[in-house]
Structure 1
């Protein structure tokens, strides 16, 4: 499987400590199967940091290499997915909120973020949150690699 990572500058080794905490699946290295999604993230990174050049790095992952790792996969927006996103985004501890090496699932982009905010602030209930998310168009999936064991199976192309 080929995965893409959008960034503002090329780099050699992946350093998980440079990743920001409180992301969708926790502090880790995020990739996409879609080049366009990775490029969009690279452009956002350049805008946020006000430096660099949109850069997409390409990695290959052997599906069999994932068999020895702890993997969690969400195929759609579900209550479990929403609770997992909120668990990670609201994690006040320096330690990860979970022990998965790899997590695969829908990305919580800006449109999804608005719905999560409404839920967290009591404007909608969990059932309505999931209903609203499922009726949005264009689910994009993300791949989270959150441990050194997981990073080791990524081969830079």
Structure 2
């Protein structure tokens, strides 16, 4: 079940513990065991800008971890994070955009192309859909041709095909230290027989 279906449903109490996953690789293992979860300082362009990204889907995190491991010639690594529903629900500066609509696209454009006024200036966390499968194509189209096009024209260039898993992908972006502190516990999901040092909660 998606976070957007839970957070406004009174059936789920604030004490409900939600598990999210972060896909990475062993290249960053020491950083996690030494520094814990933090907002990375990177120039890599992502949907909502710099932040710590999570997903409610284990297989999505696994796919991303495999991709990172292949690119760095290391091993995939998946981290699970427990967040209490109330800590997300009671945050004032939050945004949920769980539909492929113009608001979702506008948020991605702000996150990817407007570093002068990043989303963290307005929100602690954002939850929404992913456009991962089509994002590089969209970026090229946006930069070269349609920077002045209306959102309705741009939208088809980034929505994933319904036939592919990317259509169901989700992402929870933690963009401030306040949002990072919502994480109650963190641990590595490792292969059987491999043990890693614990990740500190800062």
Shorter-normalised TM range: 0.7 to 0.9
Q: Which residue of 2 aligns with 1:58?
A: 80
Q: Pick from 96, 99, 106 the counterpart of residue 76 of structure 1.
A: 99
Moved more, 15-24 or 69-78: 15-24
TM-score of the aligned structures, taking structure 2 as reference length:
0.67
Q: Which residue of 1 aligns with 2:61?
A: 38
Q: Which residue of 1 aligns with 2:178?
A: 149
**Cα distance in 1 for residues equivalent to 2:50 and 2:39:** 7
Number of matched pairs: 155
Unaligned runs of 5+ in 2: 1-17, 188-202
RMSD: 2.4
Moved more, 133-142 or 80-89: 133-142
Unaligned runs of 5+ in 1: none
Shift of 1:59: 0.8
Preserved CA contact (<8 Å) 2:124 2:175? yes
TM-score of the aligned structures, taking structure 1 as reference length:
0.84
Q: Deviations over 1:7-58 (max 9, x none)?
A: 012323012143545311110000111111101111121233x242101101
Closer, same or farther: CA 133–139 of 1 in aligned 2, 3 Å: farther
Closer, same or farther: CA 139–132 of 1 in aligned 2, 3 Å: farther
**Cα distance in 2 for residues equivalent to 1:109 and 1:135:** 8
Closer, same or farther: CA 135–27 of 1 in aligned 2, 3 Å: closer
Preserved CA contact (<8 Å) 1:3 1:59? yes
Q: Pick from 145, 152, 158 the counterpart of residue 122 of structure 1.
A: 145
Note if 1:6 corresponds to 2:23.
yes
Q: Pick from 119, 129, 136 the counterpart of residue 161 of structure 2.
A: 136
